[in-house]
Amino acid sequence: LRARDIENIGHGPLYRRLQTAIKAVIDDGILKVDDALPSERDLANELGISRVTVRNSMRALVEEGVLVQRHGAGTFVAPRVEQALSRLTSFTEDMITRGMNPGAVWIEKTLGHASPEEAMALNLSPGTEVTRLRRLRTANEKPMALEYAVVPRAFLPSPEEVEKSLYDALAKYGKKPERALQRLRAELFDGETAKILGVPDGSAALYIERRSFLANGTPVEFTRSYYRGDSYDFIAEMQVDA
């Protein structure tokens, strides 16, 4: 990173441009996951800018989830999460497997009546009682996705049953999904969703719809979610036909 790079990148206040420049270095793979960033002082000296500017950019990148600060150790590139597309797992399991701490900020946890779209997805009659779960999902406190799950009440008597993991709550009633269909689509975060996830308005999102089913084919879950395009990779394994 050189002073010249920052002058030529983006627009707006210097700290914003430094923020964009650091992100570009990460996107280009020059700095990789878990790599340490130079100290505030070193970076300020090297670039001939003030420490306050460097601190503001770092803080913004931490808020965005691009960097993580570890007490006493410094600032590092935050991990991207990779999820295999062929295994049916829950967010909680996915994070635990990666040694990360899954968390949630609840936005909605209510009983309601299936909308026509939900009824179609879940093979119910419109108006059937459903549990609605809307939450911001975090990994090591970093916002990762906004998820909106709808489950027929018949499988989950009360939304309060879900403390942390939806799949654990379903498992208690012997209703853990065994198969799922998922649709992925590129979208841009709109203002409100961007704010909840702490990313800039209009940044890349991965929209994912999952319908999951019991072994006998009954739909148990219809979930619509927005994953951060800058932090989530979905990996699919492919084979030629035998």
Strand pairing of 219-228 and 232-235?
unpaired
CB of 105 to ligand 16G, least distance (A): 13
Number of residues that bind ligand 16G (CB under 6 A): 14
Q: Does 218 bind ligand 16G (CB under 6 A)?
A: no
Q: Does 123 bind ligand 16G (CB under 6 A)?
A: no
Any long-range contacts for 105-108 (C-beta under 8 Å, 24+ apart)? 105/135, 105/136, 105/138, 106/133, 106/134, 106/135, 107/134, 107/135, 107/136, 107/146, 107/196, 108/132, 108/133, 108/134, 108/135, 108/148
CA 238, chain centre distance (Å): 24
Distance between CA atoms of 150 and 168, rounded to whole angstroms?
15
Q: Does 140 bind ligand 16G (CB under 6 A)?
A: no
Residue 146 DSSP SS3:
strand
Of 68, 223, 228, 231, the residue at the interface with ligand 16G (CB under 6 A) is 223
CB of 107 to ligand 16G, least distance (A): 14
Of 175, 176, 210, 228, the residue at the interface with ligand 16G (CB under 6 A) is 210
Nearer to ligand 16G, 35 or 233 (CB): 233
Q: Does 92 bind ligand 16G (CB under 6 A)?
A: yes
Residue 229 DSSP SS3:
coil
Q: Does 166 bind ligand 16G (CB under 6 A)?
A: yes
Of 15, 167, 189, 226, the residue at the interface with ligand 16G (CB under 6 A) is 167
Nearer to ligand 16G, 69 or 89 (CB): 89
The DSSP H or E segment spanning 228 is: strand 219-228
Binding site for ligand 16G (CB under 6 A): 90-92, 147, 149, 165-168, 208, 210, 221, 223, 225
